[in-house]
């Protein structure tokens, strides 16, 4: 299963860890993904989505229906809801 946010489509970034001696080692910066169930009142059903903590804050602010509508409009929705 991909480590991607189901709503925004964000995925891990690549980078380097730097030691005190400035040695570089490759590193992957993963998202803070959470598996959450959301109730969509318009459709009268529950959906399970894998969302990042940042997306979760956006859902709490705007509401799940508005966030899903915006994601469908942008075309970033990975999981069909």
pLDDT for residue 80: 78
Burial 49-69 (b: 16+ CB within 10 A, else e): bbbbeebbebbeeeebeebbe
The confidence band for 19, taking pLDDT boundaries of 50, 70 and 90, is very high
Model pLDDT for residues 21-75, shown as the tens digit of each residue:
999 999 999 999 999 999 999 999 999 999 999 999 999 999 999 999 999 999 8
We find that the CATH architecture of domain 13-74 is Roll (2.30)
The pLDDT of residue 1 is above 70: no
Tokens representing 77?
Answer: 């929705």
Each domain of the chain, given as residue ranges in start order, spans 13-74
């Amino acid at each position: 299963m991909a480590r991607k946010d189901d709503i925004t489509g964000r995925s891990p970034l690549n980078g380097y860890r730097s030691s005190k001696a400035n040695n570089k080692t490759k590193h992957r910066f993963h998202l803070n993904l959470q598996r959450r169930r959301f109730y969509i009142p318009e459709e009268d059903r529950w959906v399970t989505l894998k969302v990042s903590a940042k997306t979760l804050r956006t859902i709490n602010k705007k509401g799940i229906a508005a966030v899903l509508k915006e994601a469908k409009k942008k075309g970033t929705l990975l999981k069909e809801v």
